[in-house]
A and B are shown apart, each in its own frame.
Chain A
Amino acid sequence: MSEKVILAGLGGQGMMLLGRLIAQALMLEGKNVTFYPSYGTEVRGGTAYYHLTVSEEEIFSPVIEEADTLIMMNLPSYLKFKGFLKPDSMLFLNSSMIDKIENEMNIDVYRIPATKIANNIGNVVASNMVMLGAYNEVKNLVSIPVFLSCLKNVLKGRKEPFYEVNKLAIERGAEFVRKY
């Protein structure tokens, strides 16, 4: 098993947390993981992006040249990273912020209205967890309880009140693609 994922979105859409949760959960499952964030001169409103590689084998280059999966939260992110797609890639789009994209390469595209779903359950910030639920459901990476225990770890202390809504967001994301 080997999976190269590029995650990107608007700074603040929670791509860092999303990537870290996936990396952490897969690490606990005994996989090798490398999570390489963009850093430094990113600005609010700019594109924040992350390279996540998961493998049974030793991971060498942390930089992804061709992605197995793109998780894109807004249009500028998609435009920046669509060049990393290959014919058998999967594309997860936050369709609340990216609509009317032509499927030029005829690949598997999952259009998840993540922002809308998160808004409906009461916290627009949880759109990243909606994407996590959807992505995990399609790829069947780890059981939901593993994610939830990682999430609980991350949301310790003053962020604890946000656990329930994030949990619900993961479930709603998974639910949405089950009906897809």
Chain B
Amino acid sequence: MTSTEKNKKYLLTGNEACAEAAIQAGCRFYYGYPITPQNEILTHMAIRMPQVGGTFIQVESELAAINMVYGSAAAGARTMTSSSGPGISLKQEGISYLAGSELPCVIVNIQRGGPGLGDISPSQADYFQAVKGGGHGDYHTIVLAPGSVQETADLVFDAFDLADCYRNPVMILSDAQLGQMMEPVVFNKKCKPNLYKKDWALTGADGRKRNIIKSFYPVKGELEKFNAKLQKKYRQIKAEEVRYEEINIENADIVIVAYGTCARICKEFLKKGQSLNVKVGLIRPITLWPFPADIIQKVSERVQAILTVEMSAGQMVEDVRLSVSGRCPVHFYGRTGGGIPTPKEILKKISEIVSVREKVTCTT
């Protein structure tokens, strides 16, 4: 691929679509270190960056990658790095510094099985790391979770805009399946690299007051003031940037909450329209932070139960429970270590929930 035409369909892996979208969104500085299952991002960047006059560096380590991102972001450029679980863990210190210095950038995590070196199969077990901070200190990254190759491309565009808008790191939390599979993708979003003025950037102080980029506030009281500013920003993001998709939740008896690959499996289950005597709906969070707590709270007031499906031992389910606050039972079904739930397994779990409920109804 040497360039792309608007409205033309390309058959690409999620990883290639992610890299190409970044380039088209104006990212000109990419730093990466190889790790399966995200290597196609590096290879695509290695080919394309020189073509568009950008910089691609295959760095010596993940630490180098995230800190080069810090440098490019401080200079006001659109910049990105990507990795999978083990590499993202190594980047956490840098991500905390980026958040603490309010630097916009995009970090892509194509999740694989963990903990430790784990395996290279799809997983959603980096949820806690992505939405609860990961690094040290009171900070948040905006976390976007795509559900298809097309949405991966679209969200990468949005990620750069959101990062610039809020001066905050944005993470794309995808997984090995979405990264490796090929689907048609159209690049039709507009590149808006100058949408937000970066008058804070280190561009040379000739003729103006110098800018300072730092996350160090040693004078007593200063850091607390800075944290208050960050928290205000996070409250604004929570109020304005929540995104989710809902399917058939109006009359649902049971609502499933699932994101990414798991949401696709759940949609397959919904499409099959199993012979169950209950109506099942789906909420698919697209932003994992900020989490779509309000809609989940709203449905919890009228449904019989909520089921969370994840490729983890139960991480997002904690945020679902916080949103529900005991208004209805919250069930969980998860697979770990590269296991992907099947529509049959979800049917079985829903049947269990229904039969337990029926027993309760009979005795009361």
Contacts and interface: CB of A to CB of B under 8 A. Distances in A.
Q: Do A and B come from one complex?
A: yes
Interface of A: 20, 23-24, 27-28, 32-37, 39-41, 59-63, 65
B177 interface: yes
B343 interface: yes
B11 A60 contact: no
Nearest to B271: A60
Contact of A23 (B176, B180, B182, B265): B182
Given A34-B181, A63-B177, 11 more contacts: A34-B183, A36-B181, A39-B36, A41-B120, A59-B183, A60-B264, A60-B268, A62-B264, A63-B342, A65-B342, A65-B344
Contacts, number: 60
Contacts of A20: 11, 182
Contact of B183 (A33, A40, A63): A33
B268 A61 contact: yes
B107 to A, nearest CB: 22
Contact of A63 (B36, B182, B340): B340
Nearest to B343: A61
Contacts of B267: 60-61
B180 A39 contact: yes
B342 A27 contact: no
The 9 tightest CB contacts between A and B, nearest first, are: A60-B268, A61-B268, A35-B182, A60-B267, A36-B181, A40-B120, A60-B264, A40-B36, A27-B184
B32 interface: no
A60 B180 CA distance: 15
A101 to B, nearest CB: 27
A178 B44 CA distance: 42
B342 A40 contact: no
Contacts of B268: 60-61
A34 B36 contact: no
Given A20-B11, A61-B268, A65-B342, A35 B183 contact: yes
Interface in B255-281: 264-265, 267-268, 271
B37 interface: yes
Contact of A34 (B120, B182, B271): B182
Contacts of A32: 183-184
A126 B299 CA distance: 56
A23 B11 contact: yes
Nearest to A59: B183
B11 A27 contact: yes
Given A23-B182, A63-B342, A39 B265 contact: no
B9 interface: yes
By size class, the interface of chain B is 20 to 34
B85 to A, nearest CB: 14
10 contacts: A33-B183, A33-B184, A34-B183, A36-B181, A39-B120, A60-B271, A61-B267, A61-B343, A62-B264, A63-B340
Nearest to B180: A39
B11 A24 contact: yes
Given A24-B11, A27-B9, A39-B120, A62 B37 contact: no
Contacts of B37: 39-40
A37 B181 contact: yes
B264 to A, nearest CB: 5
Interface string B158-185: 0000000000000000001100111110
Contacts of A34: 181-183
A2 to B, nearest CB: 11
Contacts of B177: 36, 62-63
Contacts of A27: 9, 11, 184
Contacts of B265: 60-61, 63
A42 B176 CA distance: 15
A34 B148 CA distance: 10
Nearest to B36: A40
Contacts of B343: 61, 65
A35 B16 CA distance: 14
B301 to A, nearest CB: 28
A27 B10 CA distance: 9
B340 A37 contact: no
Of residues B177, B182, B183, B268, which shows the largest number of chain A Cβ atoms within 10 Å of its Cβ?
A: B182
Contacts of A35: 11, 181-183
Contacts of A24: 11
Contact of B181 (A41, A60, A62, A65): A62
B180 A37 contact: yes
Contacts of B340: 63
Contacts of B176: 39
A139 B180 CA distance: 27
Contacts of B36: 39-40
B345 to A, nearest CB: 11
Contacts of B342: 61, 63, 65
Contacts of B344: 65
